[in-house]
Amino acid sequence: MDRKTPSKSAKAANQATAKPASTEPVLLSGGNPQIAKGYGDAPVQAYVAAMPGWKSDVGRRLDTLIERTVPGVHKAVKWNSPFYGVEDHVWFLSFHCFTKYVKVTFFRGTSLRPLPPGQSKHKDVRYLDIHEDELDEAQFADWVKQASQLPGERL
């Protein structure tokens, strides 16, 4: 059997026409950025920067309000979502991009007053769906303060 292998010049030509690897994060369903799991501020900032369109501004505002309300807050990206907690691996809040809104998850949301508007199948969880230009910063900061003082979720 006579097997031919591509010549070095053919390999070089194929490599030259190959598309360069993209450094942009992949956007998953609903425009949610795919960011590698990581702990600390850097992966959260990468997630916020990759949020599409007006959602990136919402992400920056949420992150700033959380930091301002809970000094020394712990951060991570898990399951392609930023998480916030008061100690390592114990979380009180997360958010996630959807096509038309950003969904904030309060893990002990049923203990917050007033209740965040979004119900969940999970007995303790409540949601806040933020559409473009709809963030009530004072109410959000109040919920963050309350949530940070409750027992968190170990995830």
* Mean model confidence pLDDT for the chain: 88
What is the number of other CB atoms lying within 10 angstroms of the CB of residue 27?
A: 14
| pLDDT at residue 22 tops 60 | no
- 91-132 confidence digits (pLDDT tens): 999 999 999 999 999 999 999 999 999 999 999 999 999 999
Helix ranges, 18-109 (H): 41-50, 54-69
Distances in Å between the Cα of 74 and the Cα atoms of 4, 54, 68, 69, 88 are 58, 25, 13, 12, 6
Asked whether the bond before 20 is cis by omega within 30 degrees of 0, the reply is: no
Q: What pLDDT shows up at residue 5?
A: 53
Q: What pLDDT shows up at residue 31?
A: 83
Give the separation between CA 123 and CA 80, rounded to whole angstroms: 23
Q: What pLDDT shows up at residue 19?
A: 46
Q: What pLDDT shows up at residue 16?
A: 47
Give the separation between CA 22 and CA 143, rounded to whole angstroms: 38
| pLDDT at residue 9 tops 90 | no
Confidence of residue 7 (pLDDT cuts 50, 70, 90): low
Residue position matching structure tokens 């809104």? 101
| pLDDT at residue 137 tops 50 | yes
**Which residue, among 62, 136, 149, has the nearest Cα to 97 in the 3D structure?**
62
Q: What pLDDT shows up at residue 23?
A: 66
Residue position matching structure tokens 């473009």? 132
**Domains identified in the chain and CATH numbers:** 26-154 (3.90.1150)
- Tokens representing residue 33 in the block: 């950025």
* pLDDT average, residue stretch 18-39: 77
| pLDDT at residue 86 tops 50 | yes
Task: Identify whether the C-beta of residue 130 lies closer than 8 Å to the C-beta of residue 102.
Answer: yes
